[in-house]
Amino acid sequence: MNLKHPIRLSLLAVNLTVVLFVLGKSILDPNFAKGTPFDFPPEVSLPEWQFLDSNPLKVNSKEGNVSSVFKAAREYHYLHNNIPLDIEMRYVVRTQGQVEQFITEHPSIQSSPPQEISGKMRQQQGIGFYTVFVHQERAYLSSCINPYGGSTVTTEQFNHNRNTYDPQLSRLLPVLLGREDWRDYRCLWTYMSIPLKNSSSEEAYQTLEKVWISWYEWWSPRFPKP
């Protein structure tokens, strides 16, 4: 008995049903498949750090690489042992996760005298990659929190996550319905810093790394819905 034809007919029927559903939904609901708007929360708790305030940041559509689009941004301010901590978050879509380029085009870097930024890439087990550097007496840590897979710094790491973690059967239906793209080219670009004061760069990095672990663990399960 040849079962190929019934199986093919069933698959065609399912595909046709999905296509008709998506088409009908798109006609009846113009906002369908446009994605869920996202705003950063006004407050995020951070262990051991006192939350001071937060402010939305202006989103410049030309910011970053031309292929990347910044949809939302917010800055958070904290204090611990008289050390001020600044964290900027940007929701980036249609990106390749090129953190180094994001950094060099950041206003705090562009507005200062030309200076080579020599970042050190590091990896935290269970979290992913990040980069640290010093600029004008401040220590920085930056990385991209991915929708699937660990955090990344380079385009190669970002694309590796897309190829490894995006193709999940659990995402097939949302993709067919137009709710998600098969390759999820989004990230939460994190840009945090503290003043060096009397500490060495390595001591400052250790402080930022501890913050980064808590920050990542808070944001990873709360990554924006498509």
Walk along the chain (226 residues) in steps of 10 and give the mean pLDDT of each run: 52 48 42 64 98 93 62 97 97 94 88 72 97 95 96 96 78 59 85 94 97 98 90
Distance CA 74, CA 25 (A): 33
Q: State the pLDDT at residue 114.
A: 56
Kindly report whether the global pTM for this prediction surpasses the value 0.85: no
CB 107 within 8 A of CB 86: no
Token couple for 151: 């955090």
Q: State the pLDDT at residue 170.
A: 62
With a CB cutoff of 8 Å and minimum separation 6, the contacts of 130 are: 121, 122, 123, 124, 141, 142, 143, 151, 153, 209, 212
Q: Beta partners for 87?
A: 76, 192
For the purposes of burial, counting CB atoms within 10 Å of the CB of 178, is it exposed (0-12), middle (13-18) or buried (19 or more)? Answer: middle
Sheet holding 50-56, edge to edge: 50-56, 69-80, 83-93, 186-195, 138-145, 128-135, 120-124
Taking each continuous run of H as one helix and of E as one strand, the counts in the chain are: 6, 7
Distance CA 158, CA 153 (A): 7
Phi, psi of 214 (to 5 degrees): -65, -40
Sign of CA dihedral 204, 222, 31, 172: positive
Distance CA 197, CA 80 (A): 14
Token couple for 220: 């990873």
